Amino acid sequence: MIQQLQSDFERTIEGSGSAQINTMELSGGAKINRLFHERFPFEIVKMEFDEKELRREIAFAIRNIHGIRVGLFTPDMAFEAIVKKQIARLKEPSLKCVDLVVAELSNVVRVCTDRMSRYPRLREETERIIATHIRQREQLCKEQIILLIDCELAYMNTNHEDFIGFANAQQSSENSVKAGRKLGNQVIRKGYMCIHNLGIMKGGSRDYWFVLTSENISWFKDEEEREKKYMLPLDGLKLRDVEQGFMSRRHTFALFNPEGRNVYKDYKQLELSCENQDDVDSWKASFLRAGVYPEKSTEQANGEEGGSESSSSMDPQLERQVETIRNLVDSYMKIVTKTTRDLVPKTIMMLIINNAKDFINGELLAHLYASGDQAQMMEESPEEALKREEMLRMYHACKEALHIIGDVSMATVSTPVPPPVKNDWLASGLDNPRLSPPSPGGPRRGMPIQPVTAPGSRAPPPPPATGRPAPAIPNRPGPDMSQRMPPSLPGRPQSAGLPPPLIPSRPVPTIPPRLPDRPNIPARPQF
């Protein structure tokens, strides 16, 4: 299990092919990569681009350094004071980046230990050991990042090859902006966003497919990009956050022109929204790459000092000094920011992520063996034990059923079915005399009828002897003649004084039966 955890953790971070690839959102190494190269740079740029506030601070710093004297030269101390304040502000986004990476690492560990859910104590102990180690490395990493920032604060390297110096400070402001925009019209990002401030008659907010390049942003009806709705140049545009509505769950930001010109048709700003904050931050980072920077609303902050700032702007010498310091600060902060953006991810990778991989591969198993009783950690969860008992019960039931089926099939002896009874004489008995049963009441041809009275029968006494015998009535054929009595038909009396003739009963078994050719018709008695 620990070996499987090692493999899953490394695959999730490094991105090598895994069977459990998340197709719904970024996770693992991909999300950490986005934190390094999109979220962290965006936090830095959002922090440093507040032009009005920065110029106001430079003006106060220059005047406070000169004091009562009128300064003829731009003071170096103002540059150093402003730069140190800007560098110190890099600590917050850098430490925030560490927190986000650690949170994602914790999610990765939780996903990778899902295979241990059968043994909850082992899983809990494994997560505790890894989380404790990551927290220790997190603290060490934060101390190292703070040390990096302190190193930047310790010494202002104005002899850096990328630093413009005082001679070129005044001419660099416009050139730096133009140089940053000559990237070619390359595609930076594509994706869906919702436009909110459309006319109500046109349906209000609606989702469009956006294509962001280094020079403009276009939106289409769908991702096939066949029907282009509009193309907006990015020159001079800024970003600002828009407050969410009371019932709105979407996160909104806006593109606007700081000079007050319309951005889109008759609208002063173009309001865009995404479903979650991560998408908004990712889009903002993409706009940064295109040269569209966020601008904080500093009207309230500048309200109290508006008079002093306007009065200071009347002094052309102070205004030139502010511009010079501003260019110097901008040049030096680009150097520091570039270094920070490069070193912070490297520090996090070395002290946290790579160290966590080495810890899981080399030391986790030893910590598990040393942490407690292995038998307790290998106790199954109640759900797993119940599932296993059900499986065993089903297994034994199936095994017993197969055993019973085997015994039945081996012990059963099949016997041939007896031939069917030949009963066709029932239908054709009258047509074929050989198949019909004998008529017990019929005498042989040429023999006189010998009526036999069965003992104990209720037949009437025999009539007096006459010249003609009593009539013999043939019996109905039946399947079993030995158990059926022939029906008795009363003789038709010719006079009131004579008894009815006796009907012969069942014949004596010794006399072989014979089917008469024709029935004997009794003669009329003669007086």
- pLDDT exceeds cutoff 60 at 470: no
The highest-confidence range among 272-286, 411-425, 462-476, by mean pLDDT, is: 272-286
- Cβ–Cβ < 8 Å for 63, 312: yes
pLDDT in tens, 12-53: 888 765 556 666 667 778 889 888 988 898 888 777 556 677
pLDDT-wise least confident of 201-215, 375-389, 394-408, 453-467: 453-467
Q: 337 CB contacts (<8 Å, ≥6 apart)? A: 44, 48, 90
- Which are the contacts of 226, defined by CB distance < 8 A and separation ≥ 6? 220
- Enumerate residues 6+ apart whose C-beta is below 8 A from 8: 18, 20, 111, 112, 115
90-132: pLDDT as tens digits: 999 999 999 999 999 999 999 888 888 888 888 888 999 999 9
Alpha-helix residue ranges (DSSP H) falling in 39-119: 40-48, 51-66, 76-88, 91-112
**Model confidence over 245-302: pLDDT tens digits?**
656 667 788 888 887 788 877 778 888 888 887 788 788 878 877 778 877 544 443 4
Q: What pTM was computed for the model?
A: 0.56
All CATH 2.30.29.30 domain ranges in the chain, comma separated: 183-294
pLDDT, position 87: 92
Mean predicted confidence (pLDDT) in 509-523? 57
Arithmetic mean of pLDDT, 153-157 = 90
- CATH tag, 1-167+316-378: 1.20.120.1240
CB proximity list for 288: less than 8 A, separation 6 or greater: 41, 42, 45
- 456 vs 470, which has greater pLDDT? 470
Residue 355 pLDDT: 93
pLDDT at 503 over 80: no
The fold for domain 183-294 equals: PH-domain like (2.30.29)
Determine how β-strand 206-213 pairs with β-strand 216-220: antiparallel
What is the residue whose two structure tokens read 């005399």?
433
> Of 433 and 281, which is predicted with more confidence?
281
Residues of the chain with CATH 1.20.120.1240: 1-167+316-378
CA distance 360 to 268: 55
Q: What does the pLDDT look like over 243-254, one tens digit per residue?
A: 766 566 677 888
The whole-chain average pLDDT of the chain stands at: 75
Q: Note the pLDDT of residue 299.
A: 42
Q: How confident is the model at residue 147 (pLDDT cuts 50, 70, 90)?
A: very high
CB 81 within 8 A of CB 109: no
Q: 509 with 503: CB under 8 angstroms?
A: no
